[in-house]
């Protein structure tokens, strides 16, 4: 549980181009929090007072409905800023942030935000970029929820998680933080029961191997096939446009 140092901070994308003195200065202004897995970082509706940087661990953004459902909107990996209502013009947090595993979080008061943005152009630019990625992920989720079957959505969710936080282990790639069937259900708009059945079948087929709060994908390729994404998602660059896409758009 040693305190974070400037070297560690300089690894984080928004800070990577700062000099040693600036890094130390940023550290001096920061509050360090060690957050246990499952604990809340901030809650939907709370006023935004500080903005945060996740040094290590994983944060889950979730929304709770009046009926008691919880929906996992995003997972934040280490190295990203989050809870930046100060930049987004939000007085209160729009989501609840919960530590998926043990986390180390730096935070600064809102007033520091413009200082950081002014310190060098890269800071705001890097944050913009991270936000573009999050917007893309959300738009992908909307497309999935609108068009895909539960089975495909679960496959997409697993692939997304091993893509963002996968850890190579013997015989496959495991999801880098504790995850329950219920969590997967909360990500895909399905029920615990359906997800459980699905993983059982996939385990029998040798596609995944799972245990309590742990999922290892042993055959990602087959999962991609199930997920039904041709390749259009997440791969950037000049992709050729499949003619079928225009079925309804053009006459």
Cβ(153)–Cβ(191) under 8 Å?
Answer: no
Of positions 3, 7, 91, 170, contacts a second copy by CB under 8 A: 91
- Which is nearest to 130 in space by CA: 195, 186, 70, 83? 83
Alpha carbon distance 103, 54 (integer Å): 7
Q: What string marks each residue from 133 to 172 as x (binds DNA by CB under 7 A) or -? A: ----------------xxx---------------------
Least distance CB 141 / a second copy (angstroms):
5
DSSP one-letter string for 167-230: EEETTEEEESS---HHHHHHHHT--HHHHHHHHHHHHHTTSEEEETTEEEES-HHHHHHHHT--
Q: What string marks each residue from 6 to 45 as x (binds a second copy by CB under 8 A) or -? A: -------------------------------------xxx
Q: Which residues 6+ apart lie within 8 Å of 173 measured at CB?
A: 162, 166, 167, 216, 217, 220
Name the segment binding a second copy (CB under 8 A); options: 28-36, 49-57, 69-77, 104-112.
Answer: 69-77
Looking at residue 37, the DSSP 8-state letter turns out to be T
- Contact between 70 and DNA by CB under 7 A: the answer reads no
- Contact between 65 and DNA by CB under 7 A: the answer reads no
Q: Which residues bind a second copy (CB under 8 A)?
A: 43-45, 47, 63-71, 73, 85, 87-92, 94-96, 114, 117, 121, 124-125, 128-129, 131-136, 138-139, 141-143, 145-147, 188-189, 230, 232, 236-239, 241-242, 244-249
């Amino acid at each position: 549980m040693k305190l974070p140092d400037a070297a560690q901070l300089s690894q984080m994308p928004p800070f990577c181009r700062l000099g040693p003195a600036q890094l130390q200065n940023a550290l001096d202004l920061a509050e360090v929090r060690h957050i246990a897995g499952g604990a809340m970082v901030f809650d939907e509706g709370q006023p935004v007072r500080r903005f945060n940087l996740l040094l290590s661990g994983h944060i889950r953004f979730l929304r709770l409905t009046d009926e008691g459902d919880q929906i996992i909107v995003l997972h934040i990996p280490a190295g990203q800023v989050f809870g930046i209502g100060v930049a987004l013009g939000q007085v209160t947090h729009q989501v609840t942030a919960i530590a998926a595993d043990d986390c180390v979080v730096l935070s600064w008061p809102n007033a520091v935000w413009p200082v950081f943005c002014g310190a060098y152009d890269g800071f705001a630019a890097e944050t913009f970029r991270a936000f573009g990625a999050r917007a893309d992920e959300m738009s992908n989720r909307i497309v999935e929820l609108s068009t895909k079957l539960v089975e495909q959505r679960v496959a997409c969710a697993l692939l997304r998680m091993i893509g963002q936080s996968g850890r190579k282990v013997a015989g496959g790639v495991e999801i880098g933080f504790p995850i329950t069937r219920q969590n997967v259900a909360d990500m895909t708009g399905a029920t615990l029961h359906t997800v459980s059945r699905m993983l059982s079948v996939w385990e029998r087929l040798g596609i995944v191997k799972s245990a309590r709060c742990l999922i290892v994908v042993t055959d990602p390729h087959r999962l991609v096939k199930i997920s039904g994404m041709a390749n259009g998602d997440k791969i950037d660059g000049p992709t050729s446009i499949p003619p079928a896409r225009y079925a309804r758009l053009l006459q």
